């Protein structure tokens, strides 16, 4: 089977600033690949190229079997893009947001689609409430639900848990994992290492314009020497304490 996302030699510069200098990457169908990198590494630039919002200077890329440069309309019909901040209308209810997107995409039975998405992302009870009353995790889940109207086979998530507390972050993780379990291909950009550990089937590290490492978590761990084994008392992390106190929800 062809890869859901295939990137070969992609380059992008802004004047004298060379952001991408020959990126090679493949994302298998139905998998989650986490793209790691520091601020300014070029993660968002690569996602913008793959989603046809930006043209590469060199190289080639395909998404869902469609060439990004020569068939942008077909690519856009095959993808969903969720940015770093939830793009929801806070005045409308959750259901109204979903119905609006379904109508814009000319999906049959917008109301039925909205109800199905609310149930899919655990928002059925909150569907009639204004989004302005939602928590950060609920807004992000609604944002992802809106982006998935029409069931696109490939989803790009650009740092989807930015600014969320630990509990909300785990709610989003559960939603993302459910996507892949349902056959959706996910390319996830993140700076959060534990996010990549929890979610990704494969992890790619983007550094100085290139993918310098690409593999499973076990393969990446094998790149460093085996640690010295010492018996120590493990103390809970602050995140574990927080979740234990408030009650963890949405744990993958």
pLDDT for the residue numbered 148: 84
Would you list the DSSP string of 72-136? HHHHHHHEEEE-SS----SSSBHHHHHHHHHHHTT-S-HHHHHHHHHHHTT-GGGTTSBGGGS-H
Phi and psi for 18 in degrees, rounded to 5?
-95, 105
The length of the chain, given as a count of residues: 252
Rounded-to-integer distance, Cα 199 and Cα 192, Å: 11
pLDDT for the residue numbered 245: 61
Collapsed DSSP state (helix, strand, coil) of residue 189: strand
Right CATH for 5-246 from 3.30.9.10, 3.30.465.10, 3.40.50.11030, 3.40.50.300 = 3.40.50.300
Q: What is the pTM of this model?
A: 0.81
pLDDT for the residue numbered 252: 46
Would you list the DSSP string of 2-69? --SEEEEEEEEEETTEEEEEEEEEEE-TT-EEEEE--TTSSHHHHHHHHTTSS--SEEEEEETTEETT
* The two three-digit tokens of residue 113, written as one number: 């689609």
pLDDT for the residue numbered 41: 87
* The two three-digit tokens of residue 5, written as one number: 């996302």
Provide the residue ranges of all domains of the chain, joining segments of one domain with +.
Answer: 5-246
pLDDT for the residue numbered 221: 81
The alpha carbon dihedral of 43, 118, 102, 100 has a sign of negative
pLDDT along the chain (252 residues), means of 10: 89 94 95 89 93 96 95 93 82 96 92 93 93 90 88 89 78 84 90 86 92 89 74 71 60 47
């Amino acid at each position: 089977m062809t890869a859901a996302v295939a990137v070969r030699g992609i380059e992008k510069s802004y004047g004298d600033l060379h952001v991408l200098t020959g990126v090679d990457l493949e994302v298998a169908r139905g998998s989650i690949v986490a793209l790691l990198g520091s601020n300014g590494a070029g993660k968002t630039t690569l996602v913008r190229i793959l989603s046809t919002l930006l043209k590469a200077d060199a190289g080639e890329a395909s998404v869902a079997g469609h060439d990004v440069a020569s068939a942008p309309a077909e690519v856009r019909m095959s993808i969903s893009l969720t940015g770093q901040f939830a793009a929801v209308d806070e005045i409308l209810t959750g259901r109204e947001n979903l119905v609006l997107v379904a109508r814009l995409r000319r999906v049959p039975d917008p109301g039925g689609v909205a109800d199905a998405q609310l149930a899919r992302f655990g928002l059925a009870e909150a569907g009639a409430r204004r989004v302005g009353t939602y928590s950060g995790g609920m807004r992000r889940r609604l944002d992802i639900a809106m982006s998935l109207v029409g069931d696109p086979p490939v989803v790009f998530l650009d740092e989807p848990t930015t600014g969320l507390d630990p509990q909300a972050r785990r709610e989003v993780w559960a939603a993302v994992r459910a996507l892949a379990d349902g056959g959706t291909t996910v390319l996830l950009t993140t700076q959060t290492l534990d996010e990549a550990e929890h979610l990704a089937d494969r992890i790619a590290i983007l550094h100085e314009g290139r993918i310098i490492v690409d593999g499973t978590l076990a393969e990446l761990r094998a790149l460093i020497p085996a640690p010295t084994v010492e018996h120590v008392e493990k103390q809970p992390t602050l995140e574990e304490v927080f979740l234990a106190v408030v009650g963890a929800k949405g744990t993958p």
